[in-house]
Amino acid sequence: MDTEIFAPDPIKSETTNTGILPRPTQPEAEAAVRTLIEWAGDNPDREGLRGTPERVVRAYREFFAGYDVDPSALLEKTFEETDTYDEMIVLRDIRLESHCEHHIVPILGKAHIGYLPAGRVVGISKLARLVEVFAKRMQIQEVLTSQIADTIQEVLKPHGVGVVIEAAHQCMTTRGIRNPSVTMVTSRMLGSFRNDSETRREFLSIIGNPRGDFNGA
């Protein structure tokens, strides 16, 4: 069995100025899970939990695979035959699965992306993949929304970008105030999506205007 699912390669820190953070080995990660099981009040050596540390480590690698992908590189390849296309492109209802950085519990929802191309059009699967890469990191929804929009703007340089995310946070539905009916909606409007009310209205109309008229973020 592979004992180095968590390779000891360094990873870049995007929220601190420390530069490089060493990634623990799989045994170190499994030991941390064992400690948490004991902290919860159970015995990690009992039959039902004996393999749990290894399973949790494998699950974490899947949950947080976005740290190993360069999101900008996803958008570098564009379609030359669509260089003259200048109408709005919208991808809506992209399933979103992320984890709250405050409690490391799931954020579940959907993302909507629209942009007005300025000579560069990218495959729609790349936009969905961009959402996935940023979502598979420890996140807060406001930052996630901005990261998606800002990356599209920086790499494709369109006339404008709009991103709206609707999501439920299990840090509110399964703990704390335990309110399962709450949905959080965030938006990020850049370029013509921020400055032109008609463009913004068209985008929100296409995605179903989930929570009224957003004026940007």
CATH assignment of the domain containing 110? 3.30.1130.10
* Annotated catalytic residue 139: no
Question: Is residue 42 located within the same domain as residue 143?
Answer: no
* Annotated catalytic residue 112: no
Residue 5 lies in a domain: no
Q: Residue 171: which residues within 8 A CB-CB, separation 6 or more?
A: 100, 102, 103, 105
Annotated active-site residue in 101, 142, 170, 202: 101
Annotated active-site residue in 103, 142, 170, 202: 103
Q: Which of 11-25, 130-144, 182-196 is predicted least confidently?
A: 11-25
Question: Is residue 59 located within the same domain as residue 77?
Answer: no
| Helix, strand, or coil (residue 1) | coil
User: Is pLDDT at 216 greater than 50 in this prediction?
Assistant: no
Mean pLDDT computed over 203-215: 70
* Annotated catalytic residue 159: no
Model confidence pLDDT, tens digit, residues 79-97: 877 778 889 999 999 999 9
Amino acid symbol at 204:
L
Tell me which residue has tokens 């946070």. Answer: 169
Residue 112: closest CA among 71, 68, 161, 63? 161
Question: Is residue 81 located within the same domain as residue 148?
Answer: yes
* Annotated catalytic residue 99: no
Mean pLDDT computed over 153-177: 88
| Structure confidence at residue 210 (pLDDT) | 60
* Annotated catalytic residue 80: no
Q: Identify the domain containing residue 198 by its residue range.
A: 72-207
For residue 4, name the pLDDT band (cuts at 50, 70, 90): very low
Contact present, 35 and 44 (Cβ < 8 Å)? no
Annotated active-site residue in 30, 99, 100, 132: 100
Question: Is residue 58 located within the same domain as residue 102?
Answer: no
Model confidence pLDDT, tens digit, residues 93-113: 999 999 999 999 999 999 999
User: Is pLDDT at 33 greater than 60 in this prediction?
Assistant: yes
The tally of domains found in the chain comes to: 2
| Structure confidence at residue 88 (pLDDT) | 96
* Annotated catalytic residue 169: yes
Annotated active-site residue in 4, 38, 76, 102: 102
Question: Is residue 136 located within the same domain as residue 196?
Answer: yes
Look at strands 138-139 and 106-116 and give their pairing.
Answer: unpaired
Q: Which of 6-20, 143-157, 161-175 has the highest mean pLDDT?
A: 143-157
* Annotated catalytic residue 102: yes
Query: Which residue did the predictor score with more confidence, 15 or 72?
Result: 72
Question: Is residue 59 located within the same domain as residue 132?
Answer: no
Question: Is residue 81 located within the same domain as residue 42?
Answer: no
Residue 212 lies in a domain: no
| Structure confidence at residue 9 (pLDDT) | 43
* pTM (whole model) above 0.75: yes
Strands (E), the chain: 11-12, 20-21, 89-100, 106-116, 138-139, 160-169, 184-191
Instruction: Give percent of the chain above pLDDT 90.
Output: 73
